[in-house]
Structure 1
Amino acid sequence: MKLHDSLIGLLLIAFGGWVLWQAQSFPAMPGQMIGPSTFPTLLGGLCALGGLLLVWQGRRISRDELVCIHEGWRIGSRVACVAVAVFGTLLLGVTFETVGFPVGGTLLLSALFYAAGLHRARWITVSAIFVLTVHLVMTRLLYVPLPSGFVKGLL
């Protein structure tokens, strides 16, 4: 899918405007010209200005359709992969502490492989080995406290 530059510019203008609006509610620093709202105001203004330039440039160069859906996105397995990735990640995020990274990550990666058309049992093994390797590297070498969930005490 391809979005026209002017749509992306409109999103940047909206985001920059929101940052400007939020930055105005920051408290002032007594006796100083530069306060907590200075840099968000500057960045929000630059973001909105960049969005305005994108809208102008996009409309000047091309007046084609605003959204162009590529033929590749009409393949059902790709849409299924996106759905599994989005909703699976949301479900894992809600149940992360209970299910844990090893089980949840393996289930999510296996579901992605299945949605992509890889139905053999070896892809479950690949998912489990990959997720367990990431879990051990993160928890043992980098000391990132990932929840073990159902397999607590085993890893």
Structure 2
Amino acid sequence: MQKTKLNADLISGLLFIAFGLWFCGSSVYGLKIGNAFRMGPGFFPAVLGGLLALLGLVIVVNGLRSDEAPLTLANVPWRAVVLLPVALILFGAAMKPLGLAIALLLLCFCSAMAIKEMTLTKAAALSVGVTLLCIGIFSVALGLNLPLLGNWLR
């Protein structure tokens, strides 16, 4: 019998299943579900949790059939593992005092730098482009009342 290798697909699929079942369970036991015609507040999270668990199952099956190298500490992309959560924390911390524009710039730049081949100029250009696109979509097109600049920058 062939030994199962712990590759990235297998691990991420199992995490998707765990999070999906957790969301599904907490919405079923904590909120009213209702039915398809009269949806309660727990209906949408339960459906999304179920879809996430189903997606995780597909990824696990793909990981079991894959010939991908097993995951070791040497081939973990540590730069991305560190910079992506930092980017999200920076965005959350910067949104209120600095506003949407600067928070998005920080988020995009830090996320772009998680890519090993990314240069500073490419990351800056990508950050400016994505920030302008998001401002155009959320502030201009959708009219969301998000402050573009923080109070002390106005």
Smaller-chain TM-score bracket: 0.5 to 0.7
Q: Give the counterpart letter for 2:98 in structure 1.
A: V
Between 101-110 and 4-13, the greater mean CA deviation after superposition: 4-13
Q: Give the counterpart letter for 1:81 in structure 2.
A: A
Structure 2 residues without counterparts, runs of 5 or longer: 1-7, 55-60
Match of 1:112 in 2: 111
**1:139 offset after TM fit, Å?**
1.0
Aligned residues: 125
Cα 1:129–1:82 change in 2 (3 A) is: same
Match of 2:79 in 1: 80
Match of 1:21 in 2: 29
Match of 2:125 in 1: 125
**Residue correspondence of structure 1 range 129-140 to structure 2 within 5 A:** 129-140=129-140
1:30-71 superposed Cα distances (whole Å, 9 cap, x missing partner): xxxxxx56547xx7xx98xx8xxx9xxxxxx9xx8xxx9854
State whether structure 2 residue 2 is matched by structure 1 residue 2. no
Match of 2:96 in 1: 97
SS in 2 for 1:116: coil
Cα 1:95–1:106 change in 2 (3 A) is: closer
Cα 1:72–1:130 change in 2 (3 A) is: farther
Structure 1 residues without counterparts, runs of 5 or longer: 24-35, 55-60
**1:122 offset after TM fit, Å?**
3.6
Cα 1:110–1:20 change in 2 (3 A) is: closer
Q: Is the 8 A contact 1:2 1:69 kept in 2?
A: no
**1:7 offset after TM fit, Å?**
7.8
Q: Is the 8 A contact 1:102 1:128 kept in 2?
A: no
For normalisation by structure 2, the TM-score amounts to: 0.53
**1:12 offset after TM fit, Å?**
5.8
Match of 1:32 in 2: none
**1:88 offset after TM fit, Å?**
1.8
Aligned equivalents of 1:79 and 1:13: distance in 2? Answer: 27
Aligned equivalents of 1:114 and 1:13: distance in 2? Answer: 32
SS in 2 for 1:2: helix
Aligned equivalents of 2:148 and 2:89: distance in 1? Answer: 18
**1:83 offset after TM fit, Å?**
2.6
Aligned equivalents of 1:81 and 1:106: distance in 2? Answer: 17
Q: Is the 8 A contact 1:101 1:146 kept in 2?
A: yes
Q: Is the 8 A contact 1:135 1:146 kept in 2?
A: no
